[in-house]
Amino acid sequence: MRPLVTRYIGYAQENVTLAVHRGLPSRHVTLIISLEQPVRFTGEPGEGALQGLVGGLHTAPALITQDRVQRGLHLELDPFGVRTLLGVTAAELSGHIVDLADFGGDLASLPARLAEASDWQSCFAILDDVLVARAVEPASPPPELGEAWRLMRHSGGRARVADLAGEVGWSRRHFGERFRAEIGLAPKQASRVLRFERAGHLLRGGLRDLAEVAVEAGFYDQAHLSNEWRALAGCSPRTWIAEELPFLELTEEPAY
């Protein structure tokens, strides 16, 4: 399943004080199963409360109302593996949050099965069983798209769309149409998300200088970084850090 699923994350938190968490855009289609109260969300994907959900690629934050106690599983799915695991394309999920129960069968029963598991390893074993069974007959996209996606990820969203198209032997227009039809984002949008995701990784890792973060993540400058964060996260980098990373102190150049 390595090409299909990046990782499983088991999470458990008590005394959560942040009332609303921003579910940020990323390179993954997300599958979340709560082992406590249903996940309550608002924002661009809509509004609802679900015990298990699948979130497609998006370019705006999903706002998640947090309970004091949270426990569940978060799966990061490669968008080009969604056909195999869920029976739909990532494009059909793009910008939406879908009830896991809508996929029926073994996926619909996952929340109940996982709630009965005794520990994380048991949960992960159940996920393995269900997903491996669904991966028996891979529904792979054209190899040109898979290679372009690999190159795009490897460059951290810095590769030019024309160069990616040329690398796989397609015209830029054909590449853009096929790419969007598969994952739901145009190549330029996907590149934006990859740069944004890289910036978030650097901030979580403790890099404190926003100008340096901008350079490392492939933005023109700090202003470009800030503008993209407002567009994709719904707030400035500084506001996000204050909300999500209160331990992280920033340094900045003085204004002259």
Pair 33, 110: CB distance under 8 Å: yes
Superfamily of domain 193-256: Homeodomain-like (1.10.10.60)
Give the sheet arrangement for strand 70-77, strand by strand: 5-13, 70-77, 29-34, 52-55, 97-99
Determine how many CB atoms are found less than 10 A away from the CB of residue 16.
Answer: 12
- Please tell me the CATH code under which domain 5-134 is placed: 2.60.120
Domain spans, the chain: 5-134, 141-184, 193-256
Task: Report d(CA 45, CA 18) in Å as an integer.
Answer: 21
**Per-residue pLDDT tens listing for the chain (256 residues):** 888 999 999 999 888 888 899 999 999 999 999 999 999 998 766 678 999 999 999 999 999 998 999 999 999 999 999 999 999 999 999 999 999 999 998 999 999 999 999 999 999 999 999 999 998 877 788 999 999 999 999 999 999 999 999 999 999 999 999 999 999 999 999 999 999 999 999 999 888 899 999 999 999 999 999 999 999 999 999 999 988 887 544 444 433 3
For the beta carbon of residue 179, count every other beta carbon within 10 angstroms. 27
